[in-house]
Amino acid sequence: MSAARYRYSVRLLPRLVRLALGGPSSLCADTAALLQGASPPPRALNPQHIPASQPFVLTFNHYDRPGLGAWWGAGAMAQAVAARRTGAPREIHLAMAREWWYPTGFGKWIKQPLTRWFFGQLGKAYGLIRLPPVLGHDEFRGEGAWAIRQALTLTRRDPPELIGIAPEGATGAGLALCTPPHGAGLFLLLLTRDRIPILPAGIFEDEAQTLTVNFGAPYQLAVPRALPRAARDCQAARQVMVAIGKLLPARMWGVYRADIAAVMQKDPSGF
């Protein structure tokens, strides 16, 4: 069996130039061009779960490895959503770090400013929600407020825009699930407001090395309002991560292994 390949065609250069200039662009169109370099082509499982016209907040695991950046999985999701939707909105406003963070040295003074600039151009082109690179770090304390307001504005439009977020913010060891940073659960509670359902998706590579996105049934977060703030945050994040984990192979359950196993025992309709 030949290894999976993810190559960048020279035909992407005009699109990259446009992105570098910060001009508006289509995530659907650009990811369709990107995925032409994927061999084998990505596949979507259970796309019937994607609401054809209703709004949703898409949650998924952060999946990347050497040779396979996280944008390939994001592109596969964007294509599946666009193919399923019957009308606007069809584009997803993805949440991502506004820059790559480095503690010291060359990365701090050269790489970090460059990524801040380029990710800023991506944000302008695609309407991305740009989050601080390290949540909870003193250097970025309080800087997530603008991104939260931007996301809330998008979900309060008529009709609400589609939001996509990987709550973990990073890929866990061995590609397995890891715990989201503090505040991720509360952020999702704010976005959904007991009105907008969450659409879970699990990203992985199968035995044939095919990049796969497995969609689950939409659901509403169920977190008692009377709980203390920290408990609400933790419970919401756990519900989201377990729903994602059900769509992944057991080898990727990570820190949520026991929780996912317990849920799957009651409802084996997951992966």
pLDDT of residue 97: 83
Cβ atoms of 146 and 157 within 8 Å: the answer is no
pLDDT of residue 135: 52
- Rounded to an integer, what distance in angstroms lies between the CA atom of residue 185 and that of residue 242? 13
Q: Can you give 81-97 as a three-state secondary structure string?
A: HHHHCCCCCCCEEEEEE
- Rounded to an integer, what distance in angstroms lies between the CA atom of residue 143 and that of residue 136? 10
The one-letter code for the residue type at 195 is R
Cβ atoms of 93 and 56 within 8 Å: the answer is no
Tell me: pLDDT of 87 over 70.
Answer: yes
The matching CATH number, chosen from 2.60.40, 3.10.150, 3.40.1130, 3.40.50, for 41-266 is 3.40.1130
- Rounded to an integer, what distance in angstroms lies between the CA atom of residue 93 and that of residue 164? 6
Any idea what the Cα angle at residue 192 is, between residues 225 and 213, rounded to 5°? 125
Helices (H), the chain: 13-20, 27-34, 70-84, 105-106, 112-126, 145-155, 184-192, 229-245, 257-266
Tell me: pLDDT of 83 over 90.
Answer: yes
Using one digit for the tens of pLDDT, what is the confidence trace for 162-214? 999 999 988 888 999 999 988 899 999 999 987 899 999 999 999 989 999 99
Q: Considering only residues 59 and 183, tell me which one the structure prediction assigns the higher pLDDT.
A: 59
The one-letter code for the residue type at 110 is I
pLDDT-derived band at 142 (thresholds 50, 70, 90) equals low
Tell me: pLDDT of 96 over 90.
Answer: no
Cβ atoms of 230 and 237 within 8 Å: the answer is no
pLDDT of residue 134: 55
Using one digit for the tens of pLDDT, what is the confidence trace for 107-126? 888 888 898 888 888 888 99
Residue-wise burial string across 65-104, b where 16 or more C-beta atoms lie within 10 A, e elsewhere: eeebebbbbbbbbbbbbbebbeeebbbbbbbbbbbebeee
Tell me: pLDDT of 268 over 80.
Answer: no
Tell me: pLDDT of 56 over 80.
Answer: yes
Least confident of 7-16, 138-147, 248-257: 138-147
Cβ atoms of 240 and 256 within 8 Å: the answer is no
- Rounded to an integer, what distance in angstroms lies between the CA atom of residue 50 and that of residue 4? 27
Using one digit for the tens of pLDDT, what is the confidence trace for 216-248? 999 999 999 999 999 999 999 999 999 999 999
Tell me: pLDDT of 70 over 70.
Answer: yes
Using one digit for the tens of pLDDT, what is the confidence trace for 39-49? 999 999 999 99
Tell me: pLDDT of 10 over 60.
Answer: yes
To the nearest whole number, what is the mean pLDDT of the chain?
Answer: 89
Length of the chain: 271
DSSP label of 110: I
- Rounded to an integer, what distance in angstroms lies between the CA atom of residue 255 and that of residue 125? 35
Tell me: pLDDT of 143 over 80.
Answer: no
